Amino acid sequence: MKLYRLGELPKFDSMLVFHAMAYLGMEGFIVVSPQEPIATIGYFQDLNTSINLEYCKDNNIGIMRREVGGGTTLLDRNQIFYQVILNKSNPLIPGDTFTLYRKFSQPAIDTYKDLGIHAKFKEVNDLITEGGKKITGEGGANIGDMLVFVGGLLLDFDHELMSRIFPAKNEEYRVQLLQTLENNVTTVKRELGHLPPKKEVEDKLVTNFEKLFGPFEAAELSDEVWIKAKELERHYTSKEFLSKKSREQSGIKIASGINMFEKRYKAVGGTIHAVYEMKSGLIGDVNLYGDFTFLPKEKLIDLEQVFKGLPLDKQQIQGKVEEFFVTNNIDCPGVSPLDFASIFFS
């Protein structure tokens, strides 16, 4: 497999490259960091409820929607990102997402161990320390004919900045959010009391991934990849794509017998958000979003249609979702058909 050690890249390039390679059908392993802070939101998230747009604009922090699930992320040069791009037919890929996350997380776990930090995998897609604090978040997605798996080593982290990137109704809430982040997200610097050389950490990471994939072949990105990356940047940062899961109104709206609801349900694999209509006792249009993983991602729109016309009967809704999962070979780690049915009763 080819190895791309890209160092620090400007703007969104650190996230665009693996998307570009996936769309071009190119396998590879990437190690990269962004030069300046950027914010990304997950494929299924709502823009307005996931990020503080005004703060990001005022502080020149770029926003991009990625084609990987999960939640809002703050990326900067103090993180080392590892990105695996494989053809879906590659025998290195396990049969299910849980196994894939466990298998592909091991090199990062071993890297932390080499540094003197004991980390372990926590379902669905986190690495945590012995003290139970998150030190790595990971994600996966299918892009074209390729599967991508991404994660990042937290050398250091700006908890304060992250607390301002999240939307907060008031300063008291933001202060509480900051405290929660500081209590639950740790870093290499915090665990060791010092910051090891970045290259040293990257070298250990590459060595540990070679144990999984075999010897890497150092390579440089072609012009084709950079052209594709810039094309995708225009799309991923466009108002249309950023707002694709946004709604102008939330809460409850009543008009001519139509009730609009917004609810959320916390499953093991993430929080499901739903905005939906009720028309004469039957479910109308449904819009789902959240920080869960859903493969194939294109099928989420089809799932939204499954609910249409159903009564508020949890057993019946669950049955329809179970049928949809089987028929479409849905892989949604940590989120079951019952979880999707439960959103209407939360």
pLDDT, tens digit (0-9, with 9 covering 90-100), for 205-264: 999 999 999 999 999 999 999 999 999 999 999 999 999 865 444 433 233 445 678 888
Say whether the peptide bond before residue 124 is cis (omega within 30 degrees of 0): yes
Q: pTM here?
A: 0.86
Tell me what pLDDT residue 280 has: 79
Angle at 60 between CA 58 and CA 62, to 5 degrees: 120
253-345: CATH class: alpha beta
Please provide the distance, in angstroms rounded to a whole number, between the alpha carbons at the two ends of the chain. Answer: 46
**Chosen CATH of 2-242 out of 3.30.379.10, 3.30.930.10, 3.40.1380.20, 3.40.50.12160:** 3.30.930.10
pLDDT in tens, 313-336: 999 999 999 999 999 999 999 999
Estimate the share of the chain in helix, then strand, then coil, as percent rounded to the nearest 5.
40, 30, 35
Contact between 154 and 135 under an 8 Å Cβ cutoff? The reply is yes
- The total of other beta-carbon atoms located within 10 Å of residue 118's CB is 12
- What are the boundaries of each domain within the chain? 2-242, 253-345
Tell me what pLDDT residue 254 has: 31
